[in-house]
Amino acid sequence: MTEENDMAHEVAAETNGETHSGFVALIGPTNAGKSTLVNRLVGAKVSIVSHKVQTTRAIVRGIAIHGNAQIVFMDTPGIFKPRRRLDRAMVTSAWGGAKDADLIMLLIDSERGLRGDAEAILEGLKEVRQPKILLLNKIDRVKREDLLALAAAANEKIAFEQTFMISAENGSGCDDVMDYLAKTLPEGPWYYPEDQISDLPMRQLAAEITREKLFLRLHQELPYSSHVETEKWEERKDGSVRIEQVIYVERDSQKKITLGKGGETIKAISSASRKEIAEILEQPVHLFLFVKVRENWGDDPERFREMGLDFPR
């Protein structure tokens, strides 16, 4: 038995009785609120959130305990019509995550309904064998009769096991989702220690946090193709950590925007990111950001590996 399995059995034994565990893939169109929902269900930040479409690139796993169940949420990239190599890799990753899960949750933005990418996702789900549940998000912004009509329209296309009406923003309906998952996932030992909330390495999460701050600050000015990598991570004797990260952009004009006049923009991004990373690590952080131009980095296999994506040929 492996050390990981030993740990899982030890954790399971502590819950006194049968335990449930499983992987739940959360899929949906871009900007439907998937990352916000995963953070809400896990009870901590494991996936970055911004108004920019396609913010989540690779599958992020957030781990939640509910009663005697350990639920591993797979926050997948938004599914949309791909135009470039990076787009194709993200969409492939999302569908791959769905097919590897024990259960699939489709999240639909109630305001947008089934228009556009949602319609295509419903068609794609017909080919996926796993049980599926439907989550209608942002219900506080839509009339009840419209929600019921939307639920009926979606259920006509796919045989969902259950439909939930929720708000990822304020948590409405989320406890019902967790109750359902806890009793529906198969019996079995937990996959992760009880205090683990994500399988994302800390240096990668730190890079994602900086990317989030970058997008929040430069939502209109900077393409979503910008990328952040943690290049150095040094634990210091005084208990602090020194982190060096590189922000990759594709053109000199984007570098100037990222730096800002007199370095004002990059300082603001660094300050916001450093504060959040320090809160997660619970130790002082010295964060140094560098901006580099790398033309056509979206065609570089190494960048895809860094993001946890397969490089599409």
81 touches 30 (CB < 8 A): no
How many Cα neighbours within 13 Å face the side chain of 286? 10
Q: Annotated binding residue at 139?
A: yes
Strand partners, 105: 26, 133
DSSP-derived pairing of the beta strands 69-75 and 60-66: antiparallel
In the block, residue with structure tokens 């210091």? 236
170 touches 192 (CB < 8 A): no
Q: Annotated binding residue at 157?
A: no
Distance CA 46, CA 59 (A): 11
Cα angle for residues 87, 300, 117 (degrees, 5° grid):
0
Helices and strands in the chain, H and E counts: 10, 9
Contacts of 299 (CB under 8 A, 6+ apart): 85
Q: Annotated binding residue at 34?
A: yes
Q: Annotated binding residue at 78?
A: yes
Q: Annotated binding residue at 32?
A: yes
Encoded tokens for 151: 């639920």
Q: Annotated binding residue at 179?
A: no
Q: Annotated binding residue at 79?
A: yes
Q: How far apart are the first and last CA of the chain?
A: 38
Strand partners, 276: none
Of 165, 126, 169, which is closest to residue 34 (Cα–Cα)? 169
The amino acid present at 30, given as its one-letter code, is: T
Of 210, 252, 227, which is closest to residue 305 (Cα–Cα)? 227
Cα angle for residues 167, 168, 174 (degrees, 5° grid):
75
Q: Annotated binding residue at 299?
A: no
Q: Annotated binding residue at 16?
A: no
Q: Annotated binding residue at 186?
A: no
Q: Annotated binding residue at 35?
A: yes
Q: Annotated binding residue at 99?
A: no
Q: Annotated binding residue at 300?
A: no
Q: Phi and psi of 219, rounded to 5°?
A: -55, -45
Q: Annotated binding residue at 140?
A: yes
Binding region:
28-35, 75-79, 137-140
Binding region for GTP:
28-35, 75-79, 137-140
